Structure formats: C-alpha cells, structure tokens
Chain A
Amino acid sequence: GAVVSQHPSRVICKSGTSVKIECRSLDFQATTMFWYRQFPKQSLMLMATSNEGSKATYEQGVEKDKFLINHASLTLSTLTVTSAHPEDSSFYICSARLAGGYYDTQYFGPGTRLTVL
C-alpha cells in the first residue's frame, strides 16, 4: 500500500517551454501533497505544500509564478514549470501524506528528471 506515482519519469525540453509533472497517490487519498527538488548528492529541498482544493503554500525563495501547482483531487497534484530554463534542470520529487495511524508520514513518488536545453 501507500504507492505514489509520477509522470513523466524523465523529460527533456527546450528553454522557454513549459513542463507539467503529475503526481498521483494510487491507493490512498491525500489531502496534502508536497513537491521537492533534489540536486545531485544533496538532500531534498521542499518547494511547496499542496492542499486539495486550495492554493499551494510555497517555501521562501520559490517563485510561485514559475512553479505552478494544482491539487485538483485527493489523488492528483500537478507541478508545471513555466518558461523553463537550464537552471531549472533538476530531479523533482512529489510526496503524498498518509495521515492517521502509526505511520502518519509522507510517501514519495519515483521522481522526474527534468533537463532543460
């Protein structure tokens, strides 16, 4: 149980284009999902917290107009990187919170490798 999927797993795009990444909780409902960014050999950096039916909460320094987040249902959140540039190239990972019980924690998706040329 507690499986989170991400699509696509890998994307290469040209500078200036927009890229959408989907995050789905497959076997549970998640009122809260999270988006992280991870640079090589570094820890996860929280970008934003996404709550179903409301606006996302962005961490300090994360441009909300550049990283658009939509949490349209209890099982789907999307991250759109708008007008992507090479410095946006990174590994993006989503997670979904499974609340209640002993394991009230976040379950992570497999990640999306974004390369902007």
Chain B
Amino acid sequence: QQQVKQSPQSLIVQKGGIPIINCAYENTAFDYFPWYQQFPGKGPALLIAIRPDVSEKKEGRFTISFNKSAKQFSLHIMDSQPGDSATYFCAACVTGANNLFFGTGTRLTVIP
C-alpha cells in the first residue's frame, strides 16, 4: 500500500511557469514532510521540508503548501528554469522513526 500518493507522474511547463506537484497521505502520525530532487544518474537531494505546525514554507523559488486537515501537501516552483528539470519525490515520516515513505515521483521538464 502506497503510504504517500504523488501526482502528476510527469509535468511539462514553459520556462517561467509555476509547476505544482501534489502529495497526499493517510497516516496522521506523519510529522515531517521533505521533498527531494533527483537528476538522472544521481542520488536524491533534499530540497525543502515542512512540519505540520506551519501551512507554508518558502526557500528561494521553492514553496511547500501544507493542508493538515486534508492531509495534503504540495511543491510549487516559482519562475521555473530548464535547470529545474528533474524528478521530484515527496516523502513523509514520523520524527524519530527510521522509515521514510516516498511518493512515486514526478518527472518535471521545463522547456526553454
């Protein structure tokens, strides 16, 4: 059973557009939600993360929106660039526990 559901599977936007990737979870014990960016042939890199005590977190051009009641969170990339083309994974876990549950990934392509 997929603990974290991610959509869309793939996304194509024009340079400057704002791609939005959505994730949903069921386990209300989850209290930490990181996003990872992965380029082909490389390991995932931590991009940004949020805890349920806030509804939004922004770091540079990346913003996470968090809706605790709906058990959903999303990643927004402002002013997207071709260099942002990568696969993005959302994840969720319980602080202190080892298991990190990943979404299925979204392949983003930003067209120049």
A residues adjacent to B (C-beta < 8 A): 2, 4, 6, 32, 34, 41-44, 46, 49, 91, 93, 95, 97, 99, 102-111, 113
Contact A42 B105 (CB under 8 A): yes
Instruction: Tell which of B36, B99, B107 touches A108, judged by Cβ atoms closer than 8 Å.
Output: B36
Q: Which residues of chain B in 37-87 are interfacial with respect to chain A, using CB atoms and an 8 Å cutoff?
A: 41-46, 49, 51
Partner of B46, one of A6, A34, A93, A107: A107
Cβ–Cβ < 8 Å partners of A105 in chain B:
32, 34, 46, 49, 93, 100
Grouping DSSP codes into helix (H, G, I), strand (E, B) and loop, the A interface class, with mixed when no group exceeds half, is strand
A91 and B87 CA atoms in complex are apart in Å by 15
**Taking the complex as formed, is B98 at the interface, i.e. its CB lies under 8 A from any CB of chain A?**
yes
Question: Does B89 belong to the interface (CB within 8 Å)?
Answer: yes
Residue in A43, A99, A109 whose beta carbon sits within 8 Å of that of B103 in the complex: A43
B27 within 8 A of A: no
Tell me if A32 and B43 are in contact (CB < 8 A).
no
- Measured between beta carbons, the chain B residues less than 8 angstroms from A113 are 41
For the complex, give the distance between the alpha carbons of A34 and B97 in Å: 13
Interfacial chain B residues near A2, Cβ < 8 Å: 46
Chain B nearest Cβ from A35, distance in angstroms: 12
A104 contacts B32, C-beta separation under 8 Å: yes
Q: Is B102 an interface residue (CB 8 A)?
A: yes
Supply 29 A–B pairs (Cβ within 8 Å), ascending by A.
A2-B46, A4-B43, A6-B43, A32-B98, A34-B98, A42-B104, A43-B102, A43-B103, A43-B104, A44-B44, A44-B89, A44-B102, A46-B100, A49-B98, A91-B41, A93-B44, A102-B49, A102-B51, A103-B49, A104-B32, A105-B46, A105-B49, A105-B93, A106-B100, A107-B46, A108-B36, A108-B44, A108-B45, A111-B43
